Amino acid sequence: MDDINFAVLGTGGIGRRTLEVSEHKDHLTPVAACDRHGVAVDHEGLDVDELLAATEANIASDGGTATRGGTDGGVKQSGQNAGVAASVQAEPTETPIDDVIDESDAIDAVLVALPNFEHDFIPRVADRFAAAGYEGVLVDVLKRSRVIDMLDDRTDRFEESGITFVCGAGATPGLLTGAAALAAQSFVEIDEVEIWWGVGLKSGYEDNRGTVREDVAHLDGYTIEDAREMSDAEIETVIDEHDGVIEFEDMEHADDVLLERAGVCDAEDVTVGGILDVTSDEKPTTTTVSVTGTTFDGETGTNTFELDDATSMEANVNGPALGYLKAGVRRNRAGEYGVFGPADLMPGF
């Protein structure tokens, strides 16, 4: 059986597009979706068009006000009917994740598109699925290296439950980590992996404030706690100080540990940086992955993988996330449980 019923936890900027992209993939049926305030479940398949229309300009985002219970320029981001709860398929709830867990016997895979303002939030969500006896796939699109260790620490628990956890399965880490693992196959020794991303987010900025807020935490002088606590106005001030174009260097992105745990190279040989431009939809720089190494016959070379500038961040996160979800389901159905990164699902060393 190829058919896969899946749920999305967190229908913000990323999770809404996950639902949309899934309509273009074979054998995927979204059966549950939740955000902070609501949950929609239909085991025959959610009406994605209705759900997206109902949440248009109305996402229960963590771009600031949702955590504070306010409103943002007339956009409903909190209260009983914000976000998913505005859909006729949904109910308001104060326990959205538990409500999905209650249905999880009939769910093959869960894509976690939740914010990551507390590093152990996603690992703790996974604990709740394991405690409920879930036997399926969990996929996240998290960014931070340190969260991978927290998930690895849970390997035994996942194996006992029958959970296959695919971590760091968005764009970076995710698509670009997989590309690096593939590009590395030409070499027997890897010297360096350089990941450099460009994101232009003008039209998608309102929908992706959660992601932008998390990115601010990667700037020198800011922590994840700062990013969680800052008001919208403070975040805007940081963005204005950079004239809407922020360059990041040496980011804590999990591509490093994910490549190391797959045996590709040492984590310290991986660097990640990039440019975010919220003033334009054009990418400020081309996204590239460069892998430098030595071949079996002594040549040194650099294999480079490049994304077309026309592909958006949403396309590069959600296509791979759902692709990795399908790869995870294949593993799960073959009885392989535990924690997998994107590079583990590529040709190995």
Which one among 5, 6, 8, 12 touches ligand NAD, defined by CB under 6 A? 12
Query: What's the CA angle centered on 40, arms 35 and 46, to 5 degrees?
Result: 120
Contact 286, 306 (CB under 8 A): yes
Instruction: Rule CB under 6 A: choose which of 5, 145, 177, 211 binds ligand NAD.
Output: 211
Binding of residue 341 to ligand NAD (CB under 6 A)? no
Question: Does residue 225 carry a catalytic annotation?
Answer: no
Which listed range, 22-30, 150-158, 206-214, 303-311, lies at the site for ligand NAD (CB under 6 A)?
206-214
Q: Quick check: is 214 catalytic?
A: yes
Give the interface size with ligand NAD as a residue count (CB under 6 A): 35
**Which of 246, 239, 268 has its CA nearest to residue 256?**
268
Provide the mask over 281-300, with x wherever binding to ligand NAD is found by CB under 6 A and - wherever it is not: --------------------
Query: Is residue 208 near ligand NAD by the rule CB under 6 A?
Result: yes
257: its two tokens: 């540990």
Out of 143, 253, 283, 326, pick the active-site residue: 143
Whole-number minimum distance, CB 25 to ligand NAD, in Å?
18
Contact call for residue 83 and ligand NAD (CB under 6 A): yes
Q: Tell which residue, 158, 109, 113, has the closest CA to residue 138.
A: 109
Rule CB under 6 A: is residue 171 a binding residue for ligand NAD? yes
Q: What is the identity of the amino acid at 6?
A: F
Q: Contacting ligand NAD (CB under 6 A), which of 48, 90, 114, 265? A: 114
Q: Is 119 marked active-site? A: no
Residue 13 assigned ligand-binding role: yes
CA 294 to each of CA 184, 268, 288, 298: distance values in angstroms, whole numbers, following the listed order: 10, 18, 20, 6
The nearer residue to ligand NAD, 15 or 123, going by C-beta atoms, is 15
Q: Which of 21, 110, 317, 343 binds ligand NAD (CB under 6 A)?
A: 317
Contact pick of 5, 8, 11, 158 for ligand NAD (by CB under 6 A):
11
258 binds ligand NAD (CB under 6 A): no
Instruction: Compute the least distance from the CB of residue 345 to ligand NAD, in Å.
Output: 15
Distance in Å, CB of 21 to ligand NAD, minimum:
13
Spatial CA neighbour of 251 closest among 141, 174, 173: 173
Q: 121-131 and 145-152 are packed helices; what angle lies between their axes, rounded to 10 degrees?
A: 20
x-marked contacts with ligand NAD along 39-78 as a string, rule CB under 6 A: --------------------xxxxx--x------------
CA neighbours within 13 Å on the CB side: how many for 75?
A: 18
Tell which one of 22, 172, 292, 332 touches ligand NAD (CB under 6 A): 172
Q: Which two tokens stand for residue 31?
A: 């059966």
- The reply to whether 298 sits in an annotated binding site is no
Supply 160's token pair. 């006992």
How near is the Cβ of 347 to ligand NAD at its closest, in Å? 22
The C-alpha R_g of the chain, in whole angstroms, comes to 19
Return residues touching ligand NAD (CB under 6 A). Answer: 10-15, 34-36, 59-63, 66, 83, 96-97, 113-116, 141-143, 170-174, 208, 210-211, 214, 317
Catalytic site positions: 143, 214, 218
